[in-house]
A and B are shown apart, each in its own frame.
Chain A
C-alpha cells in the first residue's frame, strides 16, 4: 500500500486549512518522510502560493486526470526540503473536472513512491470535499475556537462518520489565543473538545508570523522552526508518525494526553 493518505479539511473556510497543510508537510518532510501535497481545491488553488511554489507550476491535477501529462511531470519539488512535492490544483477548471474515483486512482499511484500524501480539501461539504475525502485513510479537521468554525467542524465530522468505511478523524485547534482563553474571552481547548468529542491531534497558537511567512512564500515551519507554531506542527507530525507526545495547552490549562490510540491513528 505504501503511503498514508491524510486529508485536511474544516467545513468552514478561512480557519487555516491550507496553511496547516503546508506546515505539516514541511514538518513531515523535515522528519525524513517522503511527502506529497495534493491541492484538491480545483478552481481556487492556493496551496502553491502558501508553499511558495507558484512560479514553478507547469501542469496541474486536472492535466493529470485528463491525460495531458504524466503524474510525475505535474509534481513540483520543493527544493528547500528533501522529499517534499506538490501536486497543484487547476486554476482554470471547474471542480467537476475531477471525480472522487479520479482522486482514488491518482492517490493510489502516489502511494508507492511516498510515505505521506496530504490532501488539502476545499471548504464546504460538497463536490470538492467529496473528492478530497474519497481517497483518505485519515482525516484531520482543522478548526478555530469560535462558534461557526466548531459548528462546521461538527458537521464535517458527522459526514465522515456517516461514511460506510471507517475513517480515523482527529482535530487540530488552530489560532488559539492563549491570553483570550485565559481571560475567558475565547472558548478553551476543553470547551471545543467537549462538544466535538473527537481525538485531539494538536493545538496551534495564533501567531502573526504565519502571515508574514506566507507573504514570503515559506511556511513558518520552514522559515523559523523554533517558533511556537512550528513546534506545534512538528509535534503534530511526530504524533501522526506514532510518537506519544503530550499536547501542551498554550493557555496553560494543563497537559492533554493523546487519546488517539483507540482510533488507530498512531501507527
Chain B
C-alpha cells in the first residue's frame, strides 16, 4: 500500500481523506455494534488504566483501531522504557512486546 500512501499524504486535508476517516469510524461502529461514543469512552478508560501504572506514558500511548481483512482490532501501543514504570509494579519477567503485530488481537472487538 505504500505506493498509494504517498498519494494520500499529498491530499491529507482534502475531503476525500475526511470521508475515509469518517467512513472507517462508521464501519467500526456498524461492525462492532459499539457506538462511537462508547468506543471513545473505552479508549479513554484504557488510557487511564495505563497511566495509573506508567505515569510517564501520558504522551506516547496510542490506543487505536486497526483493520485486518474485514475485522477490526483495538490495538494499544505502550512504550515501556527504563524508568517509565512506577517501581512498585516492576515485577514483570516477560519481555515486552515491541510492535502491534506481536500483540494477540482482542477477541471481543468483532
Instruction: Tell whether B103 is near chain A: CB-to-CB under 8 Å.
Output: no
Q: How far is the CB of B7 from chain A (nearest CB, A)?
A: 6
| Chain B, Cβ-Cβ closest to A249 | B4
Residues of B within 8 A of A260 (CB): none
Q: Main SS of chain A's interface residues?
A: helix
Instruction: Tell whether B40 is near chain A: CB-to-CB under 8 Å.
Output: no
Which of A146, A158, A194, A254 is within 8 Å of B19, CB to CB?
A146
Interface residues of B in 1-45 (CB under 8 A from A): 1, 3-4, 7-8, 10-11, 14-17, 19-20, 22-24, 26-27, 30-31
Residues of A within 8 A of B26 (CB): 147, 151
Interface residues on A, range: 20 to 34
Of the listed stretches A104-112, A123-131, A177-185, A215-223, chain B binds A177-185
Residues of A within 8 A of B24 (CB): 195
A150 to B100 alpha-carbon distance, docked (Å): 28
Given contacts A157-B70, A194-B1, A197-B69, whether A187 and B16 have CB atoms under 8 Å apart is yes
Q: How far is the CB of B65 from chain A (nearest CB, A)?
A: 12
Contact mask for chain B residues 58-81; partner A; CB cutoff 8 A; 1 contact, 0 none = 000000000101100000000000
A120 to B19 alpha-carbon distance, docked (Å): 29
Tally of B interface residues using CB under 8 Å: 23
| Chain A, Cβ-Cβ closest to B26 | A151
Residues of A within 8 A of B7 (CB): 188, 190, 253
Instruction: Tell whether A191 is near chain B: CB-to-CB under 8 Å.
Output: yes
Given contacts A185-B14, A190-B4, A194-B1, whether A147 and B70 have CB atoms under 8 Å apart is no
- B22:A191 contact, CB within 8 angstroms: no
Which of A147, A155, A253 is within 8 Å of B22, CB to CB?
A147
- A147:B19 contact, CB within 8 angstroms: yes
- B19:A188 contact, CB within 8 angstroms: no
Q: How far is the CB of A8 from chain B (nearest CB, A)?
A: 21
- A253:B16 contact, CB within 8 angstroms: no
A68 to B17 alpha-carbon distance, docked (Å): 54
- B4:A150 contact, CB within 8 angstroms: no
A60 to B17 alpha-carbon distance, docked (Å): 46
Further pairs besides A154-B30, A184-B11, A184-B15: 12, Cβ < 8 Å: A154-B27, A154-B31, A161-B70, A185-B15, A187-B23, A188-B16, A190-B8, A194-B67, A195-B27, A197-B67, A197-B69, A254-B4
